[in-house]
Structure 1
C-alpha cells in the first residue's frame, strides 16, 4: 500500500530553487549589460560634446583675428594639424584637429575645422566651418 502525498507540504524543492536561481542570474546579467551599454553611450556623447567644444574654440580663435586688416591677413589659408589634450570626466583625451583655410574673395576667408578622436577602436569626428570677412 502506498502512502498518500500530503497536499499541504510547503517550500521549494532543490530543482525549483536551481531553476529560480538560473532565471535570476540571467536577469541580473541583462541588467548589468544594460548598465554597461548606458555608460558607453554616455561616454560617447561626452566625447562628442568635448570635440564640438574644441572645434568651437579653434573657430573662436580664428574669428578673433579677423576684425582688422592685419588680423585678417594672419588667418592662414594652408592646412594645419595639431593635437589637443582635453580633460573629459576624470581623465584626458587626445583630439586631432585639422584646420583648413581658403580664400573665398579678397575680403572673405573660409575656415574649416575637423576634430577627430577614437573611442573603443572606433573613430569619430566633428566638423565646423565659418566665413570671416574683413572690416573695410
Structure 2
C-alpha cells in the first residue's frame, strides 16, 4: 500500500466517525493498523501510527461554546499530515492547510481571529522547512 491510499482510508474513517456512519473506534483503528503495516517505509508506518492515535479525537464532542467553524478547523488540522513526503510536498500541504483555515475564518463569527491564529503553527513549520536551524543541517562533507 502506498501513503496516499492509507491517507484516503484514514480520512474516510475520520469522516465516518465524525458523521456517525462508523461507531466502532477500535475496529476502525484496527483496520487502519492493518493497512499501515503494509506501508513500505518505516517513517510512513510511524506517521500512520500517529494519525491512528489521533482518530479518537473524531468521536469526542467539541468543548462547550466552541463554534462549528473552530471545530471544523481543528478537525482539518487533526486529519492533515505534515510530517511525511518530500520537502516540497510538505510545504504544499502546509500552504493548503493555511488557505483552508483562512477560508473557514472568513465565514466564522466572533472567533475568526482565533481560527486564523491556528495558522501560526503552520507558518512556523514552513519556516523550519525553508530556513532550518543550523543544528538541523547536515555537517559539511569531510568533517
| Structure with more of its chain in helix, by fraction | 2
| TM-score of the alignment, normalized to the shorter chain, above 0.5 | no
Pair member with larger Rg: 1
| Structure with more of its chain in strand, by fraction | 1
TM-score, normalized by length of structure 1? 0.29
TM-score, normalized by length of structure 2? 0.28
Higher relative contact order (CA 8 A, sep 6+): 1
